[in-house]
Amino acid sequence: MMRSRLSRALLFCSLVASMLFAALPASADGERGETAPFHRFTKLVVFGDSLSDTGNVFVVTRGAVPPPSTYYAGRFSNGPVWVEYLAEALDLPFENYAYGGALTDTANLFDGLGGVDFPGLRDEIDAYTGRPEGIDRRAIYLVWAGANDFRAALSRGQTPDIQPVISNLLDAVDKLYADGARYVVVPNLPDLGLTPEGLASGAGPFITLLSATFNEYLAAALTVHAAGVVQIDVFQQMHETVNHPEGYGFLNVTTPCRTAAGVCADPDTYLFWDHVHPTARGHEVLAETFEKAIKEKLVMRYRHELF
């Protein structure tokens, strides 16, 4: 009798599990579970610098920066940037609070331009969390900054201090979590020593070491301090791209397409548009890296929360 009741209970659980699985929407190619969970998220919310800016500095400067003659629609590139490709891949809208020039505190490389002070990362997050409607618990938050902190110090001939930058990023993550965010993504720094600016500086190996050391400390700090954060290894992906450019369609990964002499004939074969910013194709590769990491890590969490 007990065995019969147990069998019926197991059959019931099996039927319920089957119904739950069947209720999950299929992705466009008919596979279940890979993209379907992203339907539960409402949007992407982006904080950062010129690698992520889709026109905020352009609007504030009334179309002056970046110059529209050689930059696309207010982006610091020749086309869409990574978040636009990522939003399309995940079929989600996005809100962008990133400003070109942002440091991880309240400073910005463009401060004073046109008599205006531009937001740093802390200001961007305060602008979002300070809205009357509050934070969206079902949004995916992407926090990517830090390169300008180091570039600013190096331009002054100073040795960059890693710890304050890490503290600022942890504070940003804390602020989002404290206000109710559940899904936070923090990419690490690309190898700044491999940018055209880094290579031309004559200090490329030192800047590479700086980038790698910062990333190591950031990963450790996030693991201890904010274990739920999704980390994305942009540094490793950049090395993969530079070491195997043909796999991504690149013929040039060391010099910019846009120079004082003009613009190259085929930007899609260049990794860099200018001295530090990727081409649209470079951003597309970045977006693929983001998409893969986010799908793997957030889908796993989604399934855990569902079942």
Could you report the per-residue pLDDT of 232-282, keeping only the tens digit for each? 999 999 999 999 999 999 999 999 999 999 999 999 999 999 999 999 999
User: Going by CATH, does the domain composed of 37-234+279-306 fall within 3.40.50.1110?
Assistant: yes
For tokens 């099996």, what's the residue? 14
% of the chain exceeding 70 in pLDDT: 85
User: Per-residue pLDDT for 5 more than 60?
Assistant: no
Which residues lie closer than 8 Å to 249 by C-beta, 6 or more apart? 268, 269, 281
Domain extent listing, the chain: 37-234+279-306
What is the torsion angle, in degrees rounded to the nearest 10, for the CA atoms of residue 56, residue 60, residue 61 and residue 64? 30
**H-type alpha helices, 91-203:** 121-129, 147-155, 162-178, 196-200
Token couple for 230? 């999704």
**Local structure of residue 287 (DSSP, 8 states):** H
Q: What is the arithmetic mean of pLDDT over 92-105?
A: 98
Question: How far is it, in rounded angstroms, from Cα 269 to Cα 289?
Answer: 19
Q: Which structure tokens are listed for 18?
A: 């089957």
pLDDT at 302: 59
| Rounded Cα–Cα distance for residues 128 and 157 (Å) | 34
Local confidence band at 29 (pLDDT 50, 70, 90 cut-offs): very low
- Unique residue bearing structure tokens 């889709």: 54
pLDDT at residue 2 in the model: 34
What pLDDT was estimated at residue 79? 99
Helix (H, G, I), strand (E, B), or coil: what is residue 178? helix
Tell me how far the alpha carbon of residue 52 is from its chain's centroid: 7
Confidence label for 4 from pLDDT (cuts 50, 70 and 90) = very low
Write the pLDDT tens digit of every residue in 35-47.
Answer: 556 778 999 999 9
204's enclosing H/E stretch is helix 204-225
Three-class secondary structure of residue 40 per DSSP: helix
Q: What is the pLDDT of residue 96?
A: 99
* DSSP annotation of 194: G
- Give whole-number Cα distances, 86 to 52, 197, 284, in Å: 11, 26, 8
Q: What is the pLDDT at residue 305?
A: 59
